[in-house]
A and B are shown apart, each in its own frame.
Chain A
Amino acid sequence: MSGFFKSSIGRKVTMALSAFFLMFFLLQHFAINILSVFSPDTFNEVSHFMGTNPLIQYALQPVLLFGVIYHFVMGFILEFKNRSARVVSYAKNNGGANSTWVSRNMIYSGLFILIFLIIHFMDFWIPEINTKYIVGDMSGLHNGSFRYFHELQEKFVPIWRVALYCLGFVFLALHLLHGFNSAFQSVGANNKYTNGLKGFGKAYAILIPLGFIVIALFHHFNH
């Protein structure tokens, strides 16, 4: 199997598998975040569960981190290899005649998502890790009540951050518009269900990032 991971197809497949994991995580992340719009108390309780459950914290969280890092690193490795496969560029290339803009620019949408993720980690994940594992406060409380909803609202007060997050979600949508179905093709799933899956993929790629945008705007205007 070592040859598999070094081969072009093997790398495609592992990129797709990490993409599946990240897309599933995104759905779960959205499902929790949307609770903050409808029920702050439920959002607090679910956030506390996710933030303190040992299985999630010590098993799934490291897998998620590995998945994120692997997807980015392998993406850059493949991009570098692909660029080196054409030493001389075309004087005239009409890429729009045969492929979509999003499919040809995954590296750029991916790069913007990486920048967004770094900011997102600095905003939420690193303070959370600091509170729980450096300071040692696993209570999830602030002034006697759960702090999660309050912290979320505070983050979306500055308009620049809301704008940046919205832009990040737009790039996420662009990335998913190609990435969702591309992942299925990479693992060899191209069959009678493919057309239906393409429709589902487009809906996922638009609705989930749009949902995140709605959440960010909701908290900005309802603070």
Chain B
Amino acid sequence: MNLTLKIWRQKDANDKGKMVDYKVTDISEHMSFLEMMDVLNEQLVASGDEPVAFDHDCREGICGMCSMYINGEAHGPDRGVTTCQLHMRMFKDGDTITIEPWRAKAFPVIKDLVVDRTSFERIQQAGGYISVNTSGNTQDANAIPISKVAADEAMDAATCIGCGACVASCKNSSAMLFVGAKVSQYALLPQGQVEAVERVQNMVAQMDLEGFGNCTNTGACEVECPKGISLENIARMNREFLRASLKG
């Protein structure tokens, strides 16, 4: 298939940036979206132009690196997939595809389609962990009884890959689905109880400090999340925060 691509080009963080049109030809419908971008970049390199910078790593939907806003949706029009899992069969011959970086004050553009998502790392560092002695004396996790329901829900929350599609999709650039998932994965397990109060307070404080917007429950994040992280995690975080505030 032959396509017209409208891609955000920005030399560096200080550049104003603009949309630039490109043509790509003979794209197979079996290609992934990133493979299509590879074809474009080969074309650009061959013609002496600067290739389009974009994040990618595992290309199998688990690393959370790919991050494109395609035709007005995070990770494109398909559901439950990352950009690397998005296939060109989702598009038609002759289509014009608009490709932009995640847009959020807390995710500044580094170059072209690459954004700085270290704000997520700082939120994690604020409390997204449990303090355990890993010197060899660690208790076997299986020795602690955990209900199947709690284990499953914690695992579901832990499947968040931190790609930032929730922030990109939210009209408010809110990070509450990400933070909700990270709070939930520990809140549901006995190992997470010891630091529960500090965790949610510190992670929410860091989230606010990073300049993310506030959740208005539109649900866009849940729909666009490649891992199907549920809004229930935001509700759980709200409960945890309320409980922590009353205790603290």
- Chain A residues close to B by CB (< 8 Å): 1, 3-4, 7-13, 78, 81-95, 97-100, 103-104, 106, 178, 181-182, 185-191
Give the interface centre of A91, A103, A106 by most chain B CB atoms within 10 Å.
A91
* Candidate in B98, B215, B223, B224 with the most chain A CB atoms within 10 angstroms: B215
Considering the complex of A and B, which 3 residue pairs feature the smallest CB-CB distances, nearest first?
A: A94-B72, A85-B213, A190-B235
A3 surroundings in chain B (CB, below 8 A): 201, 205, 245
- Report if A187-B217 is in contact (Cβ < 8 Å); known contacts: A10-B245, A91-B19: no
Q: Are B208 and A85 in contact (CB under 8 A)?
A: no
Instruction: Report whether B98 and A104 are in contact in the complex, using a CB–CB cutoff of 8 Å.
Output: no
CB neighbours (8 Å) of B215 from chain A are 8, 12, 186
> Does B204 sit at the interface, judged by CB under 8 A?
yes
Which among A86, A94, A190 is the interface contact of B71 at CB below 8 angstroms? A94
Contact of A99 among B6, B77, B223, B235 (CB under 8 A): B223
A-B contact count (CB 8 A): 141
Assembled-state Cα–Cα distance A218/B215 (Å): 40
Q: How far is the CA of A83 from the CA of B98 in the complex (A)?
A: 23
CB–CB A90/B216 < 8 A? no
Between A and B, 19 residue pairs with Cβ closer than 8 Å are A7-B241, A8-B204, A8-B208, A8-B212, A9-B241, A13-B238, A81-B214, A82-B173, A82-B213, A84-B105, A84-B213, A86-B104, A98-B220, A99-B219, A99-B223, A185-B217, A185-B235, A188-B235, A190-B235
Q: How far is the CB of B144 from chain A (nearest CB, A)?
A: 25
Partner of A90, one of B100, B176, B224, B242: B100
C-alpha gap A181/B216 in the complex (Å): 11
Write the chain A residue with the least CB distance to B109. Answer: A88
Q: How far is the CA of A197 from the CA of B77 in the complex (A)?
A: 30
Docked CA distance A91–B10 (Å): 14
Shortest CB-to-CB span from B91 to chain A, Å, is 14
Contacts of A91 in B (CB 8 A): 6, 8, 19, 98, 100
Residues on B with C-beta less than 8 A from A190 are 231-232, 234-236
Mask, B191-228, CB within 8 Å of A = 1, is 00000000001001101100111111111100110000
Whether a CB of chain A sits under 8 angstroms from the CB of B169 is: yes
Q: Which secondary structure characterizes the binding site on chain B?
A: mixed
B106 on the interface (CB 8 Å rule)?
yes
Most B CB contacts (10 A, CB to CB) among A82, A98, A99 go to: A98
Chain B contacts with A in 50-100, Cβ cutoff 8 A: 69, 71-73, 77, 98, 100
A182 touches B216 (CB 8 A): yes
- Chain A residue at minimum C-beta to C-beta distance from B212: A85
* B43 CB-CB contact with A under 8 Å: no
When chains A and B are docked, how far (Å) is the Cα of A79 from the Cα of B215?
Answer: 10
Residues on the B chain within 8 Å of A98, using CB: 73, 169, 218-220, 223-224
Docked-complex contact B217 and A92, CB < 8 angstroms: no
